[in-house]
Each structure stands twice: as C-alpha cells, then as structure tokens.
Amino acid sequence: MEKILDEKQQGNTLVMEPKASNNRKLFIESYGCQMNFSDSEIVASILYKEGFNTTQNLEEADLVLVNTCSIRDKAEQTVRKRLEKYNAVKRINPNMKVGVLGCMAERLKSKFLEEEKIVDLVVGPDAYKDLPNLINEVEEGRNAMNVILSKEETYGDISPVRLQSNGVSAFVSITRGCDNMCTFCVVPFTRGRERSRDPQSIVEEVNDLAAKGYKEITLLGQNVDSYLWYGGGLKKDYKNASEMQKATAVNFASLLKLVAEAQPKMRIRFSTSNPQDMTMDVIEAMAKHRNICKYIHLPVQSGSDRILKKMNRLHTRQEYFEMIDNIKKLIPDCGISHDIITGFPTETEEDHQDTLSLMEYVKYGFGFMFAYSERPGTMAERKFKDDVPEDIKKRRLTQIVNLQQEHSRYNTKKYLGKTAEVLIEKESKKSDAHWSGRTSQNTVAVFPKENYKIGDFVNVKFEDCTSATLIGVAVGYSDNY
Ligand code: 5AD
Ligand code: SF4
C-alpha cells in the first residue's frame, strides 16, 4: 500500500504552464496518496488538450475536480467539507461544474450524485481517458459518471504534465490496483485488479524526465514488489509463447536495474513495498546500484502474528524480522519506515505490546501510524466487529507515535558528525537562508544556501538535529553525480 501524504483541510492544488489558446479554467486538487497526485497530473494532461488551463483560484474555475481518498473515514469527511466550500463558491459562479475523481468516486458511484447535489461528474481511477466525453455531457446539462474498473488501463501512453513539481523529483507510476486483499483495506475495491505497465514506457518516461533536468524519480505502485510484465521481444527468437513469456518477463528487481542503469545520474526511489512480496533480488539490486536510494517503506501494520493473520497479511512476525535482517546485512545504512494500524478488531493489550516490541527490534527511521477505521465493503467490516473502543485505539496510537519519535531521534542522531549526500529540493520552510533536501535514506536535511542551487547534489556535514530533521553545512558538491 502506498504512502498517504496527509488529510489536511485543503488538498494540494496543481498548476501548470498555461497554453494561450486554451480558454477554459480547471481547478484540480488532490487528497490522499502519491498515486492520486500522480493521477491528477494525468488528468490535467488529458484536459490540457481539451482547452483547459489550470488555475489556483477556485472562484474563477469553469471546472473543479477533486481527486479523493477513501482509505479512512476521516479522509472522506475532509472531502465532504471541501464540497461545502465548492457549494459556497458556486453561488458566486453558477456556471462552475464540479467533478469527483478517485477512490471515493469509485466507492460511492451514483450515490455521490444523489447525496451531494453540487456534484455533476463522478469518475473512477481507471476512467480518466473518458473525461472529455463526460465533460461534454455535463456541459449539455446532464450529470455524468464512469466508474468502470479496467484490467488493462495503466495510462502508459499518456505523458503527465508535472503539476506539483519542483523540477527535481517526480513520480512515475509502474503498477495500478492491488490483488492482496488485506482485510482492512478498501483499495482493492476502489483501484481494481493489479496490472503492470510496459517497462519500455516506464524507461522512456524516466529518460524524458532526465532530459528535462529531473534528478530523482519515485517508482509508484500500491505494491511495487508484485510488478510483473510479460511480453515484448521478438517471437521468432523463441520456440513457443510460454518460453517467450518466461524469457522476457520483467519483475520489479529487473525493472529497478533497468531504470537505474538507464539513468545512472538520477536517484531512484520506489514506494510502496509489501513484506510478503519483497524478494532478495530487490535488496540485492539496491545494494548493487549506487543511484538506488537506500530507503524502503515496508509497512507491517501490526507486530502480532494473530492480528497479521486476521489482516490477511501473508507473513509472520518472524518472517518480517528475517526480511529486516537481510536488508540490514546487505545495506547496513538502509533507512526503513513503516505503516502501523492500532486497534484492529480484537486487538488485545498483548497484541499491542507485540507491535511495540517489533518496533523496538527494527528501530524504524519514521512511520505513518493510524487508528483502525472500519471501511464499508471490506472483509474486516463484513466479518469482524470494530470492537476496540476509540479511547483505547487513541491511547495505543499515542504510545506508538511516542516510541516512533524516540526511534526517529535515535536514527537521526547517528548521523551527527558525519557527512552524507543531499539532493536540494526547495527552500527550507523555516528559513529562506537555508535549503531543504533529503539524504538517500529519505531523512530531511537543511543547511545554509551559500551558492548552491535547487537540484544540486551536495555533501552535507551534520552538526545538529531534531527528531526528524538533520541540520548541517555543505562541504562541497557530491562527486557521485
Ligand atoms: N484503517 C486505518 N488505517 C488504514 N490503512 C489502510 N486501511 C486502513 C484502515 N481501514 C493504512 C495502512 C496502509 C496505509 C496507507 O493506510 O497502514 O498501509
Ligand atoms: Fe496495500 Fe494491502 Fe491495501 Fe493492497 S490491500 S493496497 S497491500 S494495504
């Protein structure tokens, strides 16, 4: 499962270079995971060709699109609140049309049109190519909807406009959907079956980003380790179809190598890994290629074998430890982060202690922690009672968050007095005299700007830290790049 950025009140609005001949205005904002942000870039690219420029000003929009998240109830409530805001704006600008994209669109389908009168358009994550037709319908005064999930659609042929970009790092999606069926998770229902994108189109997109000056890419998928592409190659070289498929199959480790070798001067990241699908050859590829970042987001969800089983996570606590040991053996300085859910149905104090002790063993660099939120239609909702009281969920969550903070500090402190490479991404939020970037391990680092610029790879010597941020001074350009 991929990383959720946050559930704040306003989503990230996306803006791109306007085209003079475009005369309609699109306001598009995204909530939830990186995949949604990446999808919004695909949507904007499709609509750019239909005469829409983006705007950050809601009041002047002809079309408002909100790309939504269903992962927890709170995420959905945030979107409902935004719809109220659109409603208020529509009073001033009655011609404005409103569309809902993404996971909530897929989950609620026509209910959206019934429940929220402000909504004119409902489009699921696999139907964005149909947007031009759907918008025509809306403009003719009808509500429109397409929530058909696909077994093929990967948007591999669309080159996304980079809306949220700092010109340094970009997301490249490699798989869509998820077949894992973790019992708490709504994603398999909202994003459909898992499918992988043609490696050729992935490498082409990466090469294109490199040519445009990008320095880092993140390969995105709900479950990147299950990436698998069959096909390609010349038929005449093989005796039969199955031999051809075997010989030309590309798994995630080979895709990583392909991308890393195509652009040795670019940093390569990926998200999200799944412990049950991650293989040693992925770790080996990371260890072998300098430009693959030494960082793995490896959600565990719980440290209790009993709960893992109920969650349909197909690994045990012991197997997870073995995976961690292997990572640390091959990549001693690897940054590792997690997702953890507290208060899954039937979770006891002992199960919770198992989660805390698992965290003690791994000592994660950071993590994303959530109280269990029952999602309609999931296996957990159908089979288990949401029986851990909210106050206990919250107390356990606080304990986990506090322990994580200790571990983050422990990991960050290890870098004091040391030098590591940082890719400069932006100005520091706290000081316009400092740059902000990340180390290979994905730790945020800030340092005085001097004459360096955004996109530079710089060696930084760390002198101070907070629990999550390294503070230092640049000692020169990194000669790696
Ligand atoms: N309740 C709470 N957290 C959830 N996640 C997924 N589904 C739920 C849910 N029903 C968390 C998992 C996942 C992350 C993206 O969101 O930890 O890895
Ligand atoms: Fe991730 Fe499991 Fe949800 Fe798939 S089902 S997206 S692996 S949490």
Measured between alpha carbons, how far is 396 from 341 in angstroms, rounded to an integer?
Answer: 10
Which residue is it, tokens 């029952």? 374
The alpha-helical segments, DSSP class H, found in 181-304 are: 187-191, 199-211, 241-248, 252-262, 280-288
Cα 185 to averaged position of ligand 1 atoms, centre (Å): 6
Which residue's CA lies nearest to atom 1 of ligand 2?
A: 1
Which residue's CA lies nearest to atom 2 of ligand 2?
A: 182
103 annotated as belonging to a binding site for a ligand = yes
Taking every pair of Cα atoms in the chain, the longest distance, rounded to a whole number of angstroms, is 67
Report the chain's C-alpha Rg in angstroms: 23
182 annotated as belonging to a binding site for a ligand = yes
The values of phi and psi at residue 206, to 5°, are -65, -45
What ligand is nearest to the CA atom of residue 278? 2
Which pLDDT does position 21 carry in this prediction? 77
> In this structure, which amino acid lies at residue 426?
K
Q: What's the predicted TM-score (pTM) here?
A: 0.91
Instruction: State the closest ligand 1 atom to the C-alpha of 375, by its place in the atom list counted from 1.
Output: 10
Instruction: State the closest ligand 1 atom to the C-alpha of 2, by its place in the atom list counted from 1.
Output: 15
Q: How buried is 383 (Cβ within 10 angstroms: 0-12 exposed, 13-18 middle, 19+ buried)?
A: exposed
* Domains of the chain and any CATH numbers: 7-146 (3.40.50.2300), 169-410 (3.80.30.20), 419-477 (2.40.50.140)
Pocket test for ligand 2, best of 69, 179, 182, 307 (most atoms within 8 A of CB): 182
Partners of residue 195 on adjacent β-strands: 176
The answer to whether 259 and 202 have CB atoms below 8 angstroms apart is yes
Which pLDDT does position 22 carry in this prediction? 80
293 annotated as belonging to a binding site for a ligand = no
Q: How many Å separate Cα 64 from the centre of its chain?
A: 23
Instruction: State the closest ligand 2 atom to the C-alpha of 178, by its place in the atom list counted from 1.
Output: 4
Pocket test for ligand 1, best of 7, 341, 401 (most atoms within 8 A of CB): 341
> In this structure, which amino acid lies at residue 3?
K
Which residue's CA lies nearest to atom 6 of ligand 2?
A: 1
Tokens of 148: 């058909």
Split the chain (481 residues) into runs of 10 and give each run's mean pLDDT: 40 67 91 93 94 93 97 96 95 94 96 94 97 96 95 90 85 94 95 94 96 96 92 55 68 97 97 94 97 98 98 97 97 97 98 98 97 97 98 98 97 97 96 97 97 97 95 93 64
Tokens of 300: 């565990």
Residues near ligand 2 with C-beta < 6 Å? 1, 178, 180-182, 185, 187-188, 222-223, 274
Which pLDDT does position 162 carry in this prediction? 84
